[in-house]
Amino acid sequence: MRVSYVSPQLAAILRERVIGDLSLDFLVDVAAVGIADLDSADALLVMAINQANILPLTRDPAARRRYGDLASPAPDTERRPVSISAIADSLGLPFETARRHIHRLRARGACELEAGGVIVPAAFLSSPAYLASVMQVYGRLRSFHHELQALGVLRPLPEPAFPLEGEGLMRGAARLVSDYLLRVAAGVVRIAGDRVAALALLGAAAGGTERPGLTAEGLLRPGVRRPVRPAELSRRLRLPPETTRRQLLRLTREGVVARTPSGFMVTEEMLAGRAWRAVLRANAGDVQRLFDGLAVRGVIALWQT
């Protein structure tokens, strides 16, 4: 195969863009899976709470081993409660909106309120519906890794630091995916304004008729985008149709999304703008961080056996 020369700067931009194309599709698929039976907006809220609850534990290798198995969520007594205001700030939500949604999630058993704040209880994290969603995300994560490896856009990964055996790595992998998703969401929220608009924006940006790949010369080729209709996006994101349409129209008025006769999309010109360039650059680093973490924990080695 003949490989044409490109400047290091262009090569970096192409790599970030191709990683972004694959990442957007992965992120929307993860949002479509959700958490248990929650819609994607509430799933993102639960994810943010849970990650805050277990943050001290994720820094402790012994705790990561202790609570890496699907059957072993960290008990409520070891979870650090997080304030509603902190969660609201992290997701760009008004305090009252966050409070209202958390109380609704409490009624469904997905959250508990304590003196120090809110936690996601271990009972919810060991429920059949939650475990089924973790297994679905784990499978999609493996295919995401395969896509990235096939195009050669991942840097060399570290060796396992403490290899574990079997599918007991799923819960630990799910924590790393949640961390990655929340990092991307924070960047997209800065463009879109709040978590629901950010989900709609991710969905509009993920539309594509052609996957990224390699040209005949061996160069990275970004995916080709197409418009998506609100109803299609609503089904994929598990959001109410009217909510999805309203968010897309607002994003269109703000110049963040383009409206065409065939639907809504993020155009090539928008992706080349400063805001999206920053998101794509940060995302490339976050994707590498995700798979570095999976490699250290033995997940990649397990996939390759």
Tokens linked to 301 = 């080695």
The pLDDT tens digits along the chain (305 residues) read: 344 556 888 889 999 999 999 999 999 999 888 888 888 889 999 999 999 999 988 888 778 777 867 778 899 999 999 999 999 998 888 999 999 999 999 999 999 999 889 999 999 999 999 999 999 999 999 999 999 999 999 999 999 986 555 445 788 888 899 999 999 999 999 899 888 899 999 999 987 667 899 988 888 999 888 999 999 999 888 889 999 999 999 999 999 999 999 999 999 999 999 999 999 999 999 999 999 999 998 899 989 87
CA-CA-CA-CA torsion sign (87, 93, 94, 100) = negative
Q: Is residue 255 exposed (0-12), middle (13-18) or buried (19+ Cβ within 10 Å)? A: exposed
